[in-house]
Structure 1
Amino acid sequence: MTDVVVIGAGQAGLAAGYYLRRAKRDFVILDAQERPGGAWRHLWPSLRLFSPAQHSSLPGRMMPVPADGGYPTAGDTVAYLTDYEQRYQLPVERPVSVRAVRRDGDALLVESDRGSWRANTVVSATGTWWRPYVPHYPGAFGGRQLHTVNYRGPEPFAGKRVVIVGGANSGAQILAEVSTVAETTWVTQRPPRLLPDELDGRALFEHATRRIHGESGGDLGDIVAVPPVRDARDRGVLKAEPMFARLTPDGVAWADGSSLPVDVIIWCTGFRPALGHLAPLKLRGPDGLIPVDGTRALGEPRLHLLGYGDWTGPASATLIGASRTARELIRRL
């Protein structure tokens, strides 16, 4: 019997591990990846975090400031998480693919491709990267389509006509660099809102925290103006069109009958929580999420969910948000 099993060794799982070790709990972290770094290992190399290094750190260890003094890249984050895991000698078992979590008498049973663990408490920290979301639109497009998870850089799109869908940070950053080599059109559900240049991801975190506590924080915007995004704004390409209504064989079309021929559609439309391993517990609500009190599942108090977004803690899918939520989770245990 293990006291606590943490599923996932990305930023949320490592933050939980830090506090579990400090609390001298018996625990293990199971990770499906062959190497450290979580989902950051799979992001495109030029991606920039939304906050500077000193505000994008896990507990106990500051993220080093990049050599250029700017916002850390995905590679910087992988290096940081790798060092963090080793520095605190966190007990990570990998690669271990967790298939199911079931009730087993007075414990939870975690089943994987490398055996099973009985645990008093399970912390699920599998994130969202493994469940990319592409909305359905009528029609069929004959060109290339890809999601954020498949994007690695702008080079393959040189000279092409590209539609980029999605008004959040990933869409803005991908638009910024693809627009340097291709003819781009940005489409979003609502007009994109850039934060003022002097604000970054810290402001988004504090805004999310105030909103969770029922306080009004005003309308800040939700896209951080990292340097590539500022450059795109200054070049005049950071202009969004309304969302199209359907796909056509050679592009997209709007409800008013207008259409646009394109070669590529990049869907920057987000993710859904990777919760398939929890299906045997039958905890999901009508919205597809598991009802929680803080991080604790209402239907199974031995289960905690960490790092999936605001529904499991303010901005808990970010480095700083995961850290603060993990601290509260372990304190509650």
Structure 2
Amino acid sequence: MGARLAIIGAGPAGLATARAARAAGLEPVLFERKTELGGVWRPGDGAAWAGMTTNLSHQLCSFSEQAWPERTRDYPFQGEVHGYLSAYASGLSPRYGCAVSEVAPSGDGWAVTWTEAGREHREVFAAAVLASGVFSRPWMPELPGSFAGESLHSSQYRGAERFAGKRVAVVGMSFSGTEIAAELAGAGVATTAVTGRPFWILPRYEGGVPRDLRGMTRRRQQERTRLPRAAANRAANTRYDALGGNPGRFDSRLALDPSSTEPPHLVTSDRLPGLLAGGALRIAVGHVTALSPKGLVLADGSAVDCDAVVWCTGYRPELPLPAPLLAEISFADDCLQPILLHGCTFHPALPGLAFVGVYRGPFFAVIELQARWAVEVLAGAMPPPAPEVMRAGIQSELDIRLARPRPQFPHGDYVGFADRLAAEFGVLPSLDPAGEWYEQLWHGPVVAGHYRLRGPGANPELAARQLRSAWERVGRRPG
């Protein structure tokens, strides 16, 4: 094996990086503080619970080198995702029970300090990758007052059974909040969803096909980018209203304006509309400003009485970097854009260090692209981006952080973001209309296999299998 590469975190990003490193002839040393791989999808104490499914259909939660088992459901449960990641990790040997406390420059390399079995260790590696994700530290607001009941973060939620006979308030109605509120209400638990803002509630399927597979295409992306941002936002809001996603039909306080030019915020759920329409799930609108012994106090002074609160209020990343390096990457307690990096991967002041999966976005193709690009650079197979290119990229990320109104995701243009990363290291597929795969590449969902057709790490046979599979799922003839 070649030079040793330290990789922090054995979730999807760390596993993808280790696979890429091994393929490049490096020796990946994969540190994981827990006793099992999987990150969010880790069984037992991961952020996902057994009844949680992926937000995206499994074709978009797929690495190019690992096929899902035949007849996998469109939206796999936590255990199925963990099984997929375990199969993907075959041949890797994560070092479990290693809590990394610092990654810092040391000579021409990077020193990693960690605790294992109660003892502190330190080793210097040729390069390092931080792949610990953005779900490192559950975040809950600090509020005045005190609550006499049970209070837990969504990362601690494990199912509806423990809440039988209780009144539960679920604070936050993004993806995890929506799923938890729907699961509780569907199980007969008296549930109130507390939301500070309305979200479009969209069905998972469109014409019998997962809606994301129809939307995450280059053709749709081009349609969006041809419009000025305000017009593109209005078009999206109008489309979501036409799909019946306006929550105002359940509660007038949640009504969204389909002609709005603000960025749309959305959730996908097949259960939520029925529960709201039937009254099984109640809604409280407003921000929580204080706690009371009996429950929550909202900004308008109204109260939500409950026996338990599930806080679906997000996460903040924890990065084991010295304070000067955190300042260098503009680390901030910001739920949208906590760090500023070129392509969410590199910083010109940190040669030999890369970041993979440390951004808010669940698409495995992007994670794999970051991992492959990082390894190509860290292995010396290609130069890093020029400093001026990286500075321009960092400015773009700062623009996202400062955007008002704020988008739901820093890179909601998944297709455009993936293609920009692919172009950085020469794996963007040819979009020549005369090309063999043009129809699939232009009209089909953008999956990780698109980026195995050419360039470093190309595997056209593997790519063809994934392109055909995704094409067939959207009801098109194989190419």
Measured against the shorter chain, the TM-score band is: 0.7 to 0.9
Structure 1 residue 293 corresponds to structure 2 residue 342 = yes
The answer to whether the 8 Å contact 2:113/2:122 transfers is yes
Match of 1:264 in 2: 308
Greater relative CO, 1 or 2 (CA 8 Å, sep 6+): 1
Per-residue deviation, 1:37: 2.4
Instruction: Give the stretch that moved more between structures: 110-119 or 282-291.
Output: 282-291
1:46 equivalent in structure 2: 51
Alpha-carbon distance, 1:22 to partner: 2.1
**Aligned-residue CA RMSD (Å):** 3.0
Query: Does residue 1:282 correspond to 2:289, yes or no?
Result: no
1:200-241 deviations in Å (ceiling 9; x for gaps): 55678779x9999x984534543122x444553554537452
Partner of 2:296: 252
2:115 equivalent to 1:113: yes
Cα-to-partner distance string for 1:103-141 (whole Å, 9 max, x where unaligned): 211211011124333122210011233300001222221
Give % identity: 31
Mapped to 2, the partners of 1:145 and 1:164 lie a distance apart of: 10
- Residue 19 of structure 2 aligns with an amino acid whose one-letter code is Y
Q: Give structure 1 stretches of 5+ with no counterpart.
A: none
SS in structure 1 of the partner of residue 181 of structure 2: helix
Unpaired runs of at least 5, structure 2: 237-263, 379-479
The residue aligned with 1:273 is: 317
What is the 5 A alignment of 1:12-27?
12-27=13-28
The code of the aligned residue for 1:85 comes to A
Over 3 Å counting, the alpha-carbon distance change for 1:112 and 1:66 in structure 2 is farther
| Structure having the higher Rg | 2
Equivalent residue number for residue 223 of structure 1: 267
Aligned amino acid, residue 182 of structure 1: V
Q: CA deviation at 1:322?
A: 1.6
Shift of 1:25: 2.3
1:31 matched residue in structure 2: 32
Q: 1:1-333 to 2 correspondence within 5 Å?
A: 2-41=3-42, 42=46, 43-64=48-69, 69-86=73-90, 89-114=91-116, 115-180=121-186, 181-197=188-204, 198=206, 200=211, 216=229, 218=233, 219=236, 221-225=265-269, 227-229=270-272, 231-233=274-276, 235-236=278-279, 237=281, 239=283, 241-275=285-319, 277-279=320-322, 282-284=325-327, 285=330, 287-288=332-333, 289-294=338-343, 295-310=345-360, 315=361, 317-333=362-378
Distance 1:71 1:132 in 2: 24
Counterpart AA for 1:263: D
Q: 1:34 to 1:215 in 2, by over 3 A?
A: farther
Q: Give distance in 1, aligned partners of 2:64 and 2:85.
A: 12
Contact kept? 2:61, 2:364, Cα under 8 Å: yes
Query: TM-score scaled by structure 2?
Result: 0.61
- Following superposition, the deviation at residue 165 of structure 1 comes to 0.7
The structure whose residues are more often helix, as a share, is: 2
Q: TM (normalized to structure 1)?
A: 0.85
User: 1: distance between equivalents of 2:152 and 2:228?
Assistant: 38
Q: Which amino acid aligns with 1:279?
A: P
